Amino acid sequence: MENCKSFLPNADENSEILILGSMPGVKSLDEAEYYAHPQNRFWKLMGIFCHNDNLYKTDYENKLKILLENKIALWDVIQSCKRNGSLDSNIKEEKPNNIAELLKKFPKINVICLNGNKSYTSFKKYFPEILEKYECYKLPSTSPANAKYKLEDLYKEWCKAFKTEIFN
């Protein structure tokens, strides 16, 4: 079992939407970048919401900057765990991040997007009071392991949280 540790949050005083993953996968941990696996649809999906078709192609620092310009914060529910490989189902001995502290620090956040089942179940386990207090959305994972969802399907589901009209 590998020891895994999440990254620092990407958030600022203008953030209104918080996207929470579970724990970065092996490729992301190796690259020290959220959603670094080339088949993960996260950056393509965010490109649609940020009106930037090339977001997924840009360098990592610019990706984070563009999210913040669009009032989107990014972090993980799990601060540390033990896990073999990248699958959420292999996560053991998880410890949560201090989500409550982040929300106090950035009070404009009013929507929380939970990227995938593990993100949701861990969030529900550790932060039931936040789940009740905030507008929270359990959303299909952008992971390549969630192959039944095409990018268009992810977009339709994620539109609910982003309160965006679906493009045809």
Ordered structural domains, the chain, with CATH? 2-161 (3.40.470.10)
Residue 2 parent element (H or E): strand 2-5
User: Facing residues of 137 across strands?
Assistant: 113
Neighbours of 14 (CB within 10 A): 14
Indicate the angle between helix axes 60-69 and 42-49, nearest 10 degrees.
40
Whether 68 and 15 have beta carbons less than 8 Å apart is answered as: yes
Give the global pTM: 0.94
For 26-45, the pLDDT digits (tens) are 999 999 999 999 999 999 99
**Does the active-site annotation cover 40?**
yes
**Among the listed residues 101, 162, 103, the one whose alpha carbon sits nearest the alpha carbon of residue 137:** 162
| Residue tagged active-site, from 10, 14, 40, 97 | 40
pLDDT at 94 over 80: yes
pLDDT at 80 over 90: yes
Q: Name the average pLDDT for the chain.
A: 94
pLDDT at 62 over 50: yes
